[in-house]
Amino acid sequence: MKRKAQVMNPKDNVAMALVSLKAKEKVIVQRGGLEEEIVLLESIPRGHKFALEDIEEGREIVKYGEVIGIAAKSIKKGEHVHEHNLKSPHPSRDTYAPGAI
């Protein structure tokens, strides 16, 4: 069976779609030597991420074993993870005090 998604690191809480995936599709992912079936809650375009577990608002989003963002709202297992529910882990430049940069 052709692999449809990739988990880059066992610490990751998101997987990347290797092909475009449809809502309600069941996808098998391997994480930390274990296989897990994820039912997608919405369509996931190729190259985009989906949650491997429920991620509460404010929690770190991890890909490649590294923090790539913070959940801007609660994200359900199988939900698309993208700019609509993910924010940068770094404060934007406009949050610094004048002259601090």
Q: Which domains does the chain have, with CATH numbers?
A: 5-90 (2.30.130.110)
In this predicted model, what pLDDT tens digit does every residue of 1-57 receive, in sequence order? 689 999 999 999 999 999 999 999 999 999 988 999 999 999 999 999 999 999 999
What pLDDT is attached to residue 48? Answer: 97
What pLDDT is attached to residue 94? Answer: 44
In this predicted model, what pLDDT tens digit does every residue of 20-36 receive, in sequence order? 999 999 999 999 889 99
CA separation for the pair 99, 9 (Å, rounded): 39
CA separation for the pair 17, 100 (Å, rounded): 40
What pLDDT is attached to residue 90? Answer: 74
What ranges in 1-101 are assigned the alpha helix state H? none
Only one residue has tokens 């692999």, namely 3
What pLDDT is attached to residue 38? Answer: 97
